[in-house]
A and B are shown apart, each in its own frame.
Chain A
Amino acid sequence: KENGAGLGIDEEIKVTKKRAPVPKLDENRLLSPAGIPKLRRIAKERLKFKGKGHEYSDMARLLNMYQLWLDELYPRAKFADGLAIIEKLGHTKRMQTMRREWINEGKPQDSLDSLGEG
Chain B
Amino acid sequence: MELEEASQSTVDPEVRAYVYSLVSALGGTAADEDGRYVLGDDALACLKDLKKWLKLHDEKANRLDVARCLAEANLVKGDLLEILSAWPEAATEDKIKSKVALACLELLVPLTWPIEKNDIQMTVNHHRHVPYLQLAQTSYKRAILEHESATVLRTTVRIGLPSIALPMGERSSRDEGIIKLLLYFFRNVAMISPPQNLPNEGKDGEVSRSATVEAFHRQDVLALLLTISSNMGEDFNTQDTVIMEVLFHLLKGVDVEKLFMDKKQFKSRNDDDLKSLLAQEAGMHRSYAKNAPTRHNRFGTMIWVKRDDAGKVSTVSGQDVLKDSQQALSKMDQTKKWNKPKQRVKNEEPAYDRFDMPVPLTESASTHLRAFVEEFLDSGFNPLFNHIRKAIEREAERVLEAQQQQFFYLVSWFLEAERVRRRRKKEAKKRRRDKKLEETFEADSFALIATVLNQESFILLNRFMQDRLDLKSWREVQAGMRCFTQILLIVQDMAESPLEEDQEIAENIQNRIFYEETTHDRIIAILRGYKDQGFGYLDSCTELSHVFLRILERYSRENVDLQVRSRRRARKSKKATVKQRQQTDGDDEDEASEMEDVAEAERVSRERKFDFTRFSTKFMTQACIDTFVSFTKYYTDLDTEQLKRAHRFFYRVAFKQDLSVMLFRLDIIALFNKMIKGPEGLDSAGPMFREWDELVRQLVKKMIKKLEQRPELAVELLFSKINSTTYYLEYGYDKQTTSSK
Shortest CB-to-CB span from B111 to chain A, Å, is 51
Whether A105 contacts B712 by the Cβ 8 Å rule is yes
Shortest CB-to-CB span from B331 to chain A, Å, is 12
1/0 per residue, CB under 8 A from A, across B620-637: the answer is: 000000000000000000
Q: Is B522 close to A, CB under 8 A? A: no
* Number of residues of chain B lying within 8 A (CB) of chain A: 47
Shortest CB-to-CB span from A49 to chain B, Å, is 5
Pick the contact of A83 from B326, B670, B701, B734 — CB < 8 Å?
Answer: B670
Whether A76 contacts B728 by the Cβ 8 Å rule is no
* Number of residues of chain A lying within 8 A (CB) of chain B: 50
Q: Which of B321-361 contact A (CB under 8 A)?
A: 325-326, 329, 332-334, 336, 338-340
Of the candidate stretches A2-10, A11-19, A38-46, the one touching chain B is A38-46
Shortest CB-to-CB span from B342 to chain A, Å, is 10
Please give, as numbers and ranges, the residues of chain B lying within 8 Å of A81 by CB-CB distance.
338-340
Known contacts A59-B673, A79-B670, A86-B718, A44 near B711 by CB under 8 Å? yes
Please give, as numbers and ranges, the residues of chain A lying within 8 Å of B669 by CB-CB distance.
59, 62-63
Pick the contact of A79 from B326, B333, B697, B701 — CB < 8 Å?
Answer: B333
Pick the contact of A55 from B704, B712, B716, B722 — CB < 8 Å?
Answer: B704
Shortest CB-to-CB span from B488 to chain A, Å, is 34
Chain A residue at minimum C-beta to C-beta distance from B728:
A103
Known contacts A68-B307, A87-B718, A56 near B339 by CB under 8 Å? no
Please give, as numbers and ranges, the residues of chain B lying within 8 Å of A102 by CB-CB distance.
712, 715
Known contacts A52-B701, A90-B718, A103-B712, A78 near B336 by CB under 8 Å? yes
Whether B724 contacts A100 by the Cβ 8 Å rule is yes
Q: Which of B720-741 contact A (CB under 8 A)?
A: 720, 722, 724-725, 728-729, 733-734, 739-740
Whether A80 contacts B701 by the Cβ 8 Å rule is no
Please give, as numbers and ranges, the residues of chain A lying within 8 Å of B262 by CB-CB distance.
none
Please give, as numbers and ranges, the residues of chain B lying within 8 Å of A99 by CB-CB distance.
715-716, 719, 722, 725
1/0 per residue, CB under 8 A from B, across A57-80: the answer is: 011101110111001100111111
Q: Is B171 close to A, CB under 8 A? A: no
Whether A63 contacts B666 by the Cβ 8 Å rule is yes
Chain A residue at minimum C-beta to C-beta distance from B314:
A71
Please give, as numbers and ranges, the residues of chain A lying within 8 Å of B339 by CB-CB distance.
78, 81
Q: Is A21 close to B, CB under 8 A? A: no
Please give, as numbers and ranges, the residues of chain B lying within 8 Å of A47 by CB-CB distance.
707, 711, 714
Q: Is B45 close to A, CB under 8 A? A: no
B contacts, CB < 8 Å to A: 307-308, 314, 325-326, 329, 332-334, 336, 338-340, 665-667, 669-670, 673, 676-677, 696-697, 700-701, 704, 707-708, 710-712, 714-720, 722, 724-725, 728-729, 733-734, 739-740
Sample 7 A-B pairs with CB under 8 A, ordered by A number: A59-B669, A60-B673, A62-B704, A68-B308, A81-B339, A99-B722, A103-B712
Q: A71-B314, A71-B332, A100-B724 are in contact. List 20 more A-B contacts (CB 8 A).
A: A40-B714, A42-B308, A43-B714, A44-B714, A55-B696, A55-B704, A60-B326, A60-B677, A62-B704, A63-B669, A64-B325, A68-B329, A71-B333, A75-B336, A77-B338, A83-B670, A87-B720, A99-B725, A107-B728, A115-B733
A contacts, CB < 8 Å to B: 36, 39-40, 42-44, 47, 49, 51-52, 55-56, 58-60, 62-64, 66-68, 71-72, 75-81, 83-87, 90-91, 95-96, 99-100, 102-103, 105-107, 111, 115-116, 118
